[in-house]
Amino acid sequence: MRRALELALLGPAWGENPQVGAVILDASGSIIAEGFHNGAGTPHAEVDALSKLSVVPTGSTAVVTLEPCNHTGKTGPCAQALVDAGVSKVVYAVTDPGQASAGGASTLKAAGVEVVAGVLEAEGLALVEKWMWFASHGTPWVTLKWASSLDGRAAADDGTSKWISGPESRAESHLRRSNADAILVGTGTVLADDPELTARKPDGSLYSHQPLRVVIGSSALPEDSRIFNGDASTLVLNTHDLDSVLSTLGSQGVKELWVEGGPTVASKFVASGLVNEYLVYLAPKILGGSRVALQDVGVGSMPASVDLRFESVTRLGDDILIRARGK
């Protein structure tokens, strides 16, 4: 199963489908084939692994990170493919929560295939949690990211913000950005900073995958704004209704949304309770002043605070990346 989890990471983190890995074992327990899912429209991990074999030996076991699907979409049902191939046993980590795709285990059992579920389930869940949220809610997993000084400022009082964080933080942030489906800012950020909102490598070149650039708000944007260049697609939503924004993006298959601000938009997401994960790049600088990373989030007293738990704290050059989620 650990090998299957490694294989899953070879597939794209973006897109409507989850990252899934699979290995086929012979009767002695040796790996005889491997596969992973390379994105929507491509073979699922189980089928990819089976395609490496001309004949599936008697007594073979398929080990998969996610319960084999049970529906026909752009590809056929994996559960039936395993039955047709003559696999004797299927082991998987995570049960499929999808309304259409779930039920593969029942199909396998009905065909006489032995099924074992929940092997390394925690590791498997960590791999597909954003997809599971999307599959269950129909809206994107929301990651809120900001970079700030030690005293919580996103810019100096004159408005300058380049660069609060160091090169290591910026490189790591762009890598994470390249794995998101969409990145969102408000019209105020576009007017103030004219960002490109692209995902770039340290040498300045573009990553192969670029997230959809989403701008929300009612202010008119200049046609020559850099978000309208040809480096990535851009969607402008003339609304401040965050639920409507998430619903629209969900209907377009956006599984993970990165919210990068500015402070007004970020604060609205926090106040609305819509943030699944926080990524805070903290630089060893003191700026003071009024340019805070977050504004009013509807907390009037300590008992009303938005309480989080730290998932990880990582050193990036001189900076610290704090990854946090709600308790």
Q: What is the pLDDT of residues 283-320, one digit of tens each?
A: 999 999 999 999 999 999 999 999 999 999 999 999 99
Per the structure block, which two tokens stand in for 132? 């599971």
Of the residues 135, 167, 188, which one is the last residue of a structural domain?
Answer: 135
Regarding whether 51 and 175 lie in a shared domain, the answer is: no
The CATH number assigned to the domain holding 24 equals 3.40.140.10
**pLDDT the model gives residue 76:** 74
**pLDDT the model gives residue 66:** 95
Regarding whether 98 and 169 lie in a shared domain, the answer is: no
Regarding whether 177 and 56 lie in a shared domain, the answer is: no
**pLDDT the model gives residue 27:** 94
Nearest CA to 305 among 324, 291, 286? Answer: 324
Please give the Cα distance from 70 to 46 (Å, whole number).
12
Of the residues 86, 114, 135, which one is the last residue of a structural domain?
Answer: 135
Domain enclosing residue 234, as ranges: 140-326
Please give the Cα distance from 2 to 200 (Å, whole number).
31
The string of DSSP letters for 289-319 reads SS-BS----S--SGGG---EEEEEEEEETTE
Regarding whether 286 and 150 lie in a shared domain, the answer is: yes
Please say if 46 is a catalytic residue. yes
**pLDDT the model gives residue 71:** 74
Regarding whether 105 and 9 lie in a shared domain, the answer is: yes
**Measured between alpha carbons, how far is residue 35 from residues 51, 56, 93 in Å?**
9, 14, 16
- Beta carbons within 8 Å of 93's beta carbon, 6+ residues apart: 1, 4, 5, 64, 65, 66, 118, 119, 120, 121, 123, 124, 125
Q: Which residues of the chain have pLDDT under 70?
A: 73-75, 98-101
**pLDDT the model gives residue 162:** 82
**pLDDT the model gives residue 70:** 84
Nearest CA to 77 among 54, 111, 53, 52? Answer: 111
**pLDDT the model gives residue 16:** 85
Please give the Cα distance from 222 to 208 (Å, whole number).
27
**pLDDT the model gives residue 99:** 62
Per the structure block, which two tokens stand in for 222? 């200049």
Count structural domains, the chain.
2
Indicate which residue of 6, 34, 46, 121 is catalytic.
46
Regarding whether 169 and 310 lie in a shared domain, the answer is: yes
